[in-house]
Copies of this chain bind each other. A is one copy, B any other.
Amino acid sequence: MTPIQLQQFIIEFFNHHMPFNNLLGLRASYTENLDAEIRLSWQDNLMGNPVHKILHGGVTAAVLDTVGSIAALLAGTVHLDSIEAVKEYYDQLANGGTLDMRVDYLRPGRGAEFIASAKVIRRGKKVAVCRMDLHNDSGLHIATGTATYMS
């Protein structure tokens, strides 16, 4: 397995093998620079407040946590310089997780589609810190977050 195959496996895993991501309808992707992105279409059953027809804060939190998690995992593949290192990283994938996260709800979650992006601020050997943002399809900044991931 090459680092690129590992990256593709990570995205595939988030898109097809995590049941709650499928329930939400998350679609993850990434660029050559390993920037992670998740797209999510509006569904009525993701509503929190039905008076204002906006996303439930838990959906926002779930999307931000997930996109940050992908970014942290992808960033960890950059320095894998041998087949053994790739294999070891692959074997440990399922053992990582979110240590903690802060979410700031900036504006009501309205839109036809939502785009979450993540930036790795620090990637250490065991711990990564990511900053995540959620915008709607009009470019409105709906939420921001910061999370610490253990790998």
> Quick one: which of A55-72 are within 8 Å of B by CB?
56-59, 61-63, 65-66, 69
Residues of B within 8 Å of A24, CB to CB, are: 58
What does DSSP make chain A's interface, helix, strand, loop or mixed? mixed
Name the residue on B nearest A54 (C-beta).
Answer: B97
Name the residue on B nearest A23 (C-beta).
Answer: B45
Map CB proximity to B onto A107-140 as digits: 1 under 8 Å, 0 otherwise.
Answer: 1100000000000011000110101000000000
Interface size on A, residues (CB 8 A): 51
Asked, given contacts A19-B47, A58-B20, whether A131 binds B105 with beta carbons under 8 Å apart, the answer is no
* Cβ–Cβ contact B94 & A104, under 8 A: no
Tell me, yes or no, whether A77 is within 8 Å of chain B by CB.
no
* Cβ–Cβ contact A45 & B58, under 8 A: no
**Which one of A3-11, A79-87, A143-151 contacts B?**
A143-151
| Copy count, this protein chain | 4
The residue that A146 contacts in the complex, of B19, B51, B144, with Cβ under 8 A, is B144
Name the residue on B nearest A130 (C-beta).
Answer: B104
Name the residue on B nearest A18 (C-beta).
Answer: B48
* Cβ–Cβ contact A50 & B18, under 8 A: yes
- Closest chain B CB from A45 CB (angstroms): 5
Tell me the A residues contacting B by CB distance below 8 Å: 17-24, 44-52, 56-59, 61-63, 65-66, 69, 94, 97-108, 121-122, 126-127, 129, 131, 141, 144, 146, 148, 150
